[in-house]
Chain A
Amino acid sequence: MNHRAIHGTILGAALLAGFVGVWKLQEKVDTERTTLQMENDELALRSPAVMKRLSLEYAPLMGAIYWTRAVQYFGGKHQAHEQNLDQLWPILDIATTLDPNLIVAYHFGATFLSDAPPRGAGEPDQAVMLLERGIKANPEHWRFYQDLGNVYYFDKKDYLKASQAFEAGGRLPGTPAFMKIMAAKIAAEGESLETSFALWMDLYQTATNKDVRKNAEDHLRLVKMEMELRALNQIADAYERKTKQRATRISDLAQAGLLSGQPLDPEGSPYVLGHLGRAEPNPKSPLREEWMKEKKR
């Protein structure tokens, strides 16, 4: 091996050792810094207008970068089970100002904002603001009306506005009949399990993202369970009318010939009769916790 090769090898080894040292040191610094417990500010610049100017002609790329930051911010908080999502709106505000045609940012952003904690930020008013901005910038995109209707229906419980949103979307060319049907259904019934089921089913069937699909699937399972609990309660009421006493166990209903067997929830756990003989999910059911949260809302 000549001198040149030896020098090259030593230099390469020194560089490698140096980078390994930097890597290891950074890991130590990262660990140490977590003890500071500082909330990282996701935004150095909070003015969307200034950001747009600074982005020159590259605003669409900057918009995509900010949308990715929103996804990362939301996902990071979700994973850390942190409820404080107060920077979500400013990031989405900048992303959609930089690129007003960034459809996904409105669509998913509204879901992130409107869903109640721990699923989302629990800020349906901000979700409405975001979607209204999306409709203004992309008036031909009927899906925004559906998203708006969903926020009014599920999160704000404003059924008149929900119906109006579905109706407005239904007037756009190329919109499926589903929109007009939902407008009429919500106007007539307000909140009902059947309406909720239809809304979540449409979201489930049309979702292209696996997380959104999973969210819809979870809600569908809960709504289906609610529908089954309602049916069980009707049977329990019939039992009470017949025997003049309230059933205390599901088996009482079966023995009275009102049920053909032990009904199971969508997760396969048997339903039970709880306090005052009302049907409810089994305490061991994986759906019970979610059901309790929904009840409290």
Chain B
Amino acid sequence: MRNVQTVAANTFREAVRDRVLYNLVFFALLMMGAAILVGQISIGIERDVIVSLGLTAISVIGIFIAIFLGVALVSREMDKRTLYALLAKPVKRWEFLLGKFFGLVMTLTVNTAAMAAGLYIALWSVNHALLKSDTYVLVAVYLILLKLALIVALALLFSCFTTPFLAILFTAGMYVAGLLAGDLRTVHGVELDPGTLRLMRGISYLLPNFENFNVMGAVVHGRGVSAAIAWQATLYAILYIAIVLMGAAVVFSRRNLK
């Protein structure tokens, strides 16, 4: 585990050195702009917009970082040939992958926590107080973080066996498909034979269901999220990430790096 920790810490340091956290400035400006503007151009949705815009920004910025940095985690090490020096040391390939995963998740956690703090400041500036319902925003942020961790795992998996460009496409495609996975189980208006329906149903369960991490609709309107939803999503993320990382480790360990 020590090797994993070392790789993770270095990955985090590298991300900070690469000025990844600069996106926080953009987020801060966005939230300040929204807080000032929305009250003037709309009616009765100041809080709703601050929460939905904040959560959307946290999610979208996080997804960009997770996909682009997630794919670059392995490919950049190979391009720069630093991977060979690393693997010459007593570090197993799966330890390297796991370290990279945790390093980027750590980066995303810091990034997401900072943005969540910014969101709360914006909420405070609109209401001049924090309400009880604002605590649910934290649940939404936590679920977004789980989603981002899953995206990092997928990006890692794809980057282990294909080019960075294709890995980005596959990860982004998997994210969109995962959001629509539930729809495959409830197709209306088309006549399909039972075999196709069963196949679609099977695919819908195999795809990572990103809707599991989406509670924005409730949280925006100050509605609570049950503890069951949170722990089930946590369990789902852990299980799915474990499967994906195992797959990535298998592919990466068999990959010919020469």
A37 CB–B CB distance under 8 Å: no
Whether A67 pairs with B211 at a CB distance below 8 angstroms is: no
Cα of A108 to Cα of B44 in the assembled complex, Å: 9
* Size bracket of the A interface: 20 to 34
B65 CB–A CB distance under 8 Å: no
> Cβ of A209: which chain B residues have Cβ within 8 Å of it?
43-44
By secondary structure, the A interface counts as helix
How many residue pairs, one in A and one in B, have C-beta atoms under 8 Å apart? 68
Whether B48 pairs with A68 at a CB distance below 8 angstroms is: no
Cα of A41 to Cα of B44 in the assembled complex, Å: 25
> Cβ of B59: which chain A residues have Cβ within 8 Å of it?
57-58
Cα of A58 to Cα of B217 in the assembled complex, Å: 9
Whether B48 pairs with A60 at a CB distance below 8 angstroms is: yes
B207 CB–A CB distance under 8 Å: no
Whether A71 pairs with B48 at a CB distance below 8 angstroms is: no
Whether A58 pairs with B216 at a CB distance below 8 angstroms is: yes
Cα of A107 to Cα of B45 in the assembled complex, Å: 12
B56 CB–A CB distance under 8 Å: yes
Question: How far in angstroms is the closest Cβ of chain A from B27?
Answer: 14
Question: How far in angstroms is the closest Cβ of chain B from A51?
Answer: 14
Question: How far in angstroms is the closest Cβ of chain A from B168?
Answer: 17
Whether A60 pairs with B176 at a CB distance below 8 angstroms is: no
Give the number of residues in B that approach A within 8 Å (Cβ atoms).
Answer: 26
Known: A104-B43, A108-B43. A57 touches B210 (CB 8 A): yes
Whether B43 pairs with A72 at a CB distance below 8 angstroms is: no
Chain B residue at minimum C-beta to C-beta distance from A104: B44
Known: A64-B49, A108-B44. A59 touches B56 (CB 8 A): no
Cα of A244 to Cα of B43 in the assembled complex, Å: 57
Identify the stretch in A95-103, A189-197, A275-283 within 8 Å (CB) of chain B at 4 or more residues: A95-103
Cα of A59 to Cα of B219 in the assembled complex, Å: 13
B221 CB–A CB distance under 8 Å: yes
Q: What 6 pairs between A and B have smallest CB-CB spacing?
A: A104-B44, A61-B52, A68-B42, A57-B214, A60-B52, A60-B220
